Amino acid sequence: MKTTSLKGKITVQYSLLFLACMSIVGLLVYQVVADIVQNIAINYIHETIKQTNEKIDQTLTEVENSSSTTISNWYIQTLLNRHEKYLPLRDRVQVSEMVTSAANQNSYLKSLELYSPKFGFFGFNDSVLQAADINLHIMERRLPNTKLMNKMVWMTTEQGFDQQRYILGARTIPNFISDDNLGYVMAVLDGTLIEEDFRDIDIGQGGIIFLMNEEGQIVFASSSIQPQQKKLFSATLTKLKNEALDHDIFQVDGVRSLITYSHSNKSGWMTGAVLPVSSLTRQMAYIQKIIIWTNVVAIFFILLSAGVLSSRITKPIRKMQRMMKRVEEGNLNVLLPKTKIAEINELSGSFNHMVSKLKILIYQVYEVELREREAELKALQAQINPHFLYNTLDSFYWTLVLNDQEELGRDIIALSDIFRYSIGSGETSVKLRAEFEHIWNYLRLQKMRFEKLETDCFLDPKIESADILKLIVQPIVENAFKHGLEQRDAEGKIKVEASRVNEDIVIAVRDNGVGIDSGRLEALRLRLLQNDSLTVTEQHFGMGIENVHRRIRLFYGKNYGLEIYSKPAEGTEVLIRIPFRPHSG
């Protein structure tokens, strides 16, 4: 099963979460901004075609005003209502000049003429369309004369005779009614100029603006439109008008496009615009780049912050892992510090408590092991009949006294006291004086082996009643003989001294033996320091420096035990440090 680090998982999941959030927010922002931009663009286009429509209406209004000025002129009314059969040429020219003058200020006008059934046409005409053509258009549209009386009616031609587009306007002259023959004011506007105005309007890339007449025919456009597109645009605008909608999105040759319009109440025409939706949001490409680069920068900082965050979380865990490895290797002197993360602190506290409990359990197990060895020793001791041993040694003593060998008898008594103290009643602690009496007896017997042995024992009377672990000095003295004095040919010296230092008792055992070289001395000190890994090195309890050191530390605590100082060929000094405790018996 493939595993990954906690840091890697946190980094990946944190990054994916923020990337997902950033992506969702980016899409929402992009969609909202796109909708806003699209609505702004739609409003702009709608306002543009509305202004275009108003411009056309303004042009038509100006022409209508010119015609109204002409037909309402008192002089023209007087001339054209004469009863003569013919109108003098001078008057005809004057009427035509007045009509032309009224229309000169409008550059779109190609023709403005008055028609009187009695006197004919007056005005000017620069187009190919004649009165007969206009009458024909009126007849094709089936416009009643009554409609023409109220205002000028505007019409468009699909194609003029001179390949130009025209806008036609006509209205009756009310006072020229005679035998159902009506007088007309007829105007012709240059559609080419209006079409040029359409081409000058920019509503966006791929956009088309066009003019549709009341019959649904597209007569002017800013660019060429295919016949099928004309039908589609016409049908869609008619539908929007009937449904009272101002715009819609529809498909034009597979392209989603916007269509909108503005209706003219004056002419009844509609100015429409069609634009691909993609052009409405072309400015979104810039916003899209900003969002993309923002996400790129955000990804960088997300990955960076994810790495930092995961490191802060996993750093104490990795430290805990290293500490557990040290515990696994046998080092129980570890302690995890507190951090700023509550959960990690809880784990660290549990870990520290576990190590502390483990240390206590190890001490307890080792103590049990020592007690088991002590029990073995007691079992061995129990096999010897103390009274038989004491009585036998007492018999030896009196026999030697009777034979005038009292000195040897004292040695026998010393040996008896040693056995009595060692086998004893099983107590673990004794008075310091009793421990020193045992040492005096031991040294007396050692003098039998070493003829040139010089001994010195000193016990401060102030502390002779203090409690002390039994048999912790004799193994050190024995070790001095075994490893120091036995290998020396010259006179041997050994001194045992007990004194009080502050709140402690210090027992010093000094010899002038062969000493210990620096390498072995450092190794022995190191073993005493690593008390958690010490083992019993002798077969029976109490035999050996390490065992004495361990007993002291188990009984009194880790601040007590043995200290060893030595130089080769100069001797060795062992200090036993224990707390001062008055005897409680």
Q: Is 566 exposed, middle or buried (0-12, 13-18, 19+ CB in 10 A)?
A: buried
Q: What confidence score (pLDDT) does residue 536 get?
A: 39
Q: Could you tell me what percentage of the chain is helix, strand and coil, using 3-state DSSP and rounding each to the nearest 5? A: 55, 20, 25
Q: Which fold has domain 451-585?
A: Heat Shock Protein 90 (3.30.565)
Provide the residue ranges of all domains of the chain, joining segments of one domain with +. Answer: 72-193, 451-585
In angstroms, how far is the first alpha carbon of the chain from the final one? 67
Average pLDDT, integer, range 58-84: 78
Is the pLDDT assigned to residue 410 strictly greater than 70? no
Q: How far apart are CA 18 and CA 547, in angstroms?
A: 63
> Percent of the chain beyond pLDDT 70?
77
Task: Provide the pLDDT confidence category of residue 408 given band limits of 50, 70 and 90.
Answer: low
Q: Who contacts 539 (Cβ-Cβ below 8 Å, separation ≥6)? A: none
CB 277 within 8 A of CB 258: yes
Report how far residue 389's alpha carbon sits from residue 382's, in angstroms, rounded to the nearest whole number. Answer: 12
Does pLDDT of 179 surpass 70? no
What pLDDT, in 10s, does the model give residues 464-496? 999 998 888 988 988 888 888 887 767 889 999
**Amino acid at site 248:** D
C-alpha–C-alpha distance, residues 360 and 283, integer Å: 75
User: Quick one: average pLDDT of 410-424?
Assistant: 67
* Full DSSP string of 507-554: EEEEE-SS---HHHHHHHHHHHH-GGG----SSSTT-SHHHHHHHHHH
Tokens of 195: 């079409």
Instruction: Collect all residues with Cβ–Cβ distance below 8 Å to 439 and sequence separation of at least 6.
Output: 457, 473, 474, 477, 496
State how far the Cα of 290 lies from the Cα of 295, in Å rounded to an integer: 8
Per-residue pLDDT, 574: 94
Q: pLDDT confidence of 164, banded at 50, 70, 90?
A: low
Tokens of 450: 């070493």
Residue 107: pLDDT above 60?
A: yes
Tell whether the model's pLDDT for residue 434 goes beyond 80.
yes
User: Do residues 194 and 167 lie in contact, with contact meaning Cβ atoms separated by under 8 Å?
Assistant: yes
Concatenating the DSSP letter of every residue in 159-195 gives: S-TTS--EEEEEEEEEEEEETTEEEEEEEEEEHHHHH
Q: Assess contact for 50 and 265: CB atoms under 8 A.
A: no
DSSP-derived 3-state class of residue 325: helix
Place 542 in a pLDDT band, splitting at 50, 70 and 90.
Answer: very low
pTM over 0.85: no
pLDDT at site 146: 58
Span 329-356, pLDDT tens digits: 777 777 777 777 777 777 777 888 888 8
Give the DSSP per-residue string, 111-125: EEEEEETTTEEEEEE
Please tell me the CATH code under which domain 72-193 is placed: 3.30.450
- Tens-digit pLDDT profile for residues 196-226: 777 777 777 778 888 888 778 887 787 788 8
What's the Cα-to-Cα distance from 110 to each of 45, 66, 200, 442, rounded to whole Å? 30, 13, 21, 150
Render pLDDT for 241-268 as a digit per residue (tens, 0 to 9): 888 888 888 888 888 888 888 888 777 8
Least Cα distance to 485 among 475, 493, 473 occurs for 493
Residue found under tokens 């193994």: 475
Confidence category of residue 51, pLDDT binned at 50, 70, 90: confident
CA-only gyration radius of the chain, Å: 63
**Do the first three CATH levels of 72-193 and 451-585 match, i.e. the same topology?**
no
The SS3 assignment for 142 reads coil
Higher pLDDT, 70 or 7: 70
Mean pLDDT of 12-20: 74
Query: What pLDDT score was predicted for residue 215?
Result: 78
pLDDT at 372: 62
Q: What is the DSSP letter of 271?
A: E
Task: Identify the pLDDT of residue 463.
Answer: 92
Distance separating alpha carbons of residues 209 and 261, to the nearest angstrom: 9
* 163, 190 Cβ separation under 8 angstroms: no
pLDDT exceeds 60 at position 389: no
Mean per-residue pLDDT for 429-441?
Answer: 88
Q: At residue 543, does pLDDT exceed 60?
A: no
Q: What single-letter amino acid sits at 443?
A: L
The answer to which of 79-88, 139-148, 446-455, 571-580 has the lowest mean pLDDT is 139-148
Reported confidence tier of residue 108, pLDDT bands at 50, 70, 90: confident
Place of tokens 């010393």: 414
Q: Is residue 282 packed enough to be buried (19+ CB in 10 Å), middle (13-18) or exposed (0-12)?
A: middle
Sheet holding 247-252, edge to edge: 218-221, 208-212, 270-276, 255-263, 247-252
Q: Which segment of 21-25, 176-180, 423-427, 508-512 scores lowest on mean pLDDT?
A: 176-180
Q: What's the pLDDT band for 532 if we cut at 50, 70, 90?
A: very low
Max mean pLDDT range (71-85, 175-189, 430-444, 494-508): 494-508
Burial (Cβ within 10 Å: 0-12, 13-18, ≥19) of residue 227: exposed
d(CA 479, CA 544) in angstroms, rounded, equals: 7
